[in-house]
Amino acid sequence: SQQGEEDPQALSIQEGENATMNCSYKTSINNLQWYRQNSGRGLVHLILIRSNEREKHSGRLRVTLDTSKKSSSLLITASRAADTASYFCATDVGTSGSRLTFGEGTQLTVNP
Amino acid sequence: NAGVTQTPKFQVLKTGQSMTLQCAQDMNHEYMSWYRQDPGMGLRLIHYSVGAGITDQGEVPNGYNVSRSTTEDFPLRLLSAAPSQTSVYFCASSYGGLAGGRETQYFGPGTRLLVL
């Protein structure tokens, strides 16, 4: 079963707008990670937030984590056409950081 | 560094055939994993390894074998291919551990497998 569930499944916005994707999970986690996948390519790590953190920033990315609600959100500000990709959240529940459980992903399309 | 490499990029098999998907990394990572990605399903963990000589099952291990004789290589074997194994397979590696960014997984480009 999928630990993470993402919402929305698809999102289409205009360049310059902000994009927000949400992720919910079911069990306690060590950390939650966001990955990006361009069409036909492998996944690329974007950002990691630990279970004792509430918010983290990296460039145009902002991630929040609410462990009481078992949810996270990824905000991409001032989006660009090059941000068009699928975005996945992944939760790490193992004792050694080796077992990621992925959500089904959000397909983001940024229109020029 | 080449990072994580996978071969082949694409493979067509007939039902019942066996094959090995190759994965190698040159980052001296201890942890390596195999995932499969099906449409609308996200990635699911098949097998993983926390070091040479140590492997364990993930979420969907049936029909697959792995071994880890060296730190660099982590091949995935399909014993008797079935149409249900048609998927895109990704190998990933990481340093391992729960601090200092060691949890970040680096993915290969994937192998597209079609079983007829």
> In angstroms, how far is the first alpha carbon of chain B from the final one?
36
Set of chain A residues whose Cβ sits within 8 Å of the Cβ of B47: none
3-state SS of A2-67?
CCCEEECCEEEEECCCCEEEEEECCCCCCEEEEEEECCCCCEEEEEEEECCCCEEEECCEEEEEEC
A2 touches chain B (CB under 8 A): yes
Does any CB of chain A come closer than 8 Å to the CB of residue B43? yes
Rounded CA-CA distance B15/B12 in Å is: 10
Chain A contact present for B64, CB below 8 A = no
Identify whether the C-beta of residue A36 lies closer than 8 Å to the C-beta of residue A21: no
Statement: residue B12 has pLDDT above 90: yes
Q: Mean of the per-residue pLDDT values for chain A? A: 91
pLDDT < 70: residue spans in chain A: 1-4, 94-98
